[in-house]
Amino acid sequence: MKRSISCLAVLALLIGHLLTAAAGRAATPFYQGKTIEITVPSRAGGGTDTMARIISSFLPAYVPGKPGVVLRNVPGGAGVIGNNVFYVKGKPDGLHLMMNASSSVALQLRSRDIVKYDLTKYKHIGHINRGSNLLLIRKAVLKRLYDPKAEPVVCGTKEGEETWLGMALWGKEVLGWNIRFIPGYAGTSDLELALRRGELDMFGTSNAFIINRLREEGLVTVIAQGGIYKNKKYVRRPDFPDDPTFVEVLGKKKPDGLSWQAYMAWIGPEEVDKFLVAPRNTPKEYIAILTAAFEKITKDPKFDQLVKQMVSDFYGVGVGQETGDLLKEVLTAPPEALDYGRNLQVKYGLVATKK
C-alpha cells in the first residue's frame, strides 16, 4: 500500500513538472532570442535608412521577447532592386521586414518594366509621412532657372521617379524653367553631396534636417514646396510657413484637365512616404504583434523627440490597414494621367519606359 502511494506521489510530481514546463514554453514569446532583419532598399545615410534606424532602435522595447534588430541595405534602381528581391525571396516568418519609400510607389505607379513587385500585396505594418517635399536650388544659379538663354540648371534625380520631381517637370513644362535632368544618383545623401560639390544645382526632399542644414549654410533657397493637401487645396507645411506651395508658384498658369490630373497622380506617393512592410503570407499573428509595436513606438515621446531632431518637426503616422488602404488609393490613378507623366519623362530625357 505504501509503495502504491509512493508511486502515485512520484507520478503526480512528474506530471506537475511536465505541465509547468509546458506552460513555461507556451508563455515564452515568439521573438525571444530571435533577430528581426529590416531590409532598406537604398544606401545608408538617406531618409529611408534614417527612419529605419530610428524605428529599429525602439523595436526591441515594444516587441514581446525583446528581439535583436539588424539592418541590411540593398540599394539600386531607386528601390527597385531591394523590392524585387524582397517580394520574391522575403521569408514570411515574422523576422523579415522592409522599410520602404515613396519612390518605390512611384515606380510601380508608372508601370516601369523593371518593377517585379506589388506593394499592395505586402503585409503593412505602418507608415511615417514627413510632410511634403521642398524643391531646393543653389543660390548661385537661381537666375539661370528663369533665363532660357543661360546654361541650364542641373537637376539630379535617382531614377526620374521621385515625387518631388513633379514640381521640376511641371515647372519646366508649364513655366518654362531652364532645367536639365541627370538621373542615376543612388539616394538623397548622394544628391546632397553632389550639390555641395557643384556637380548639380537642384534636388528635392521632405527631410527638414537636410533642408535646414543647407539653408543655414547659405547654399540653397527653396523654390517651392508640394504642400499638404487639406480641404481640397494645398497649404504650406507648418514647419516651412514662408515657402510657397507649387500651386502658388504656378499662379494663373496652373493647368487643368489631364495635365493637372497627371501632376496629382505623380505626387500622390508622397502621402505614404516611409512605410514598414512584411512579406506576403506572413502569418497574421506576427503582423498583429509588429503592428501593435509600431503603434506604441510612434506614441513614445522619445521617438517623437528623435524624429524631430533627425528628420522633421512635422510628421504624420498611419498604422496597419491605414497604410495598405492608402497605398491602394494611390496606386489606382487613371491610365491616361500616368501616360501623360511618362510622356514628360521621355520628352525631357529622363530614364523611363513608355507603356
pLDDT of 181 strictly over 80: yes
What whole-number percentage of the chain has pLDDT above 70?
Answer: 90
Cα separation values, 331 from 37, 68, 81, 334, 350, Å = 27, 34, 20, 9, 21
* Contact criterion met (CB below 8 Å) for 209 and 163: no
The average pLDDT across 223-239 equals: 85
pTM of the entire predicted model: 0.70
Confidence (pLDDT) at 259: 94
pLDDT of 230 strictly over 80: no
* Superfamily of domain covering 35-130+270-330: Bordetella uptake gene, domain 1 (3.40.190.150)
Express each pLDDT in 24-41 by its tens digit: 455 789 999 999 999 999
Q: Tell me which DSSP letter residue 84 carries.
A: H
- Pick 220 or 18 by higher pLDDT: 220
Q: Where in the chain is the domain with CATH 3.40.190.150?
A: 35-130+270-330
Poorest-pLDDT segment among 46-50, 216-220, 326-330: 326-330
The H-assigned helical ranges of the chain are 2-27, 47-62, 80-89, 102-109, 142-145, 165-175, 188-197, 208-216, 246-250, 257-267, 284-298, 301-310, 321-330, 335-347
How is residue 217 written as a grid cell?
A: 549654410
CATH architecture for the domain at 134-269+335-347:
3-Layer(aba) Sandwich (3.40)
The average pLDDT across 184-207 equals: 93
pLDDT of 219 strictly over 80: yes
The average pLDDT across 309-334 equals: 84
Q: Where in the chain is the domain with CATH 3.40.190.10?
A: 134-269+335-347
Q: Name the 3-class secondary structure at 27.
A: helix
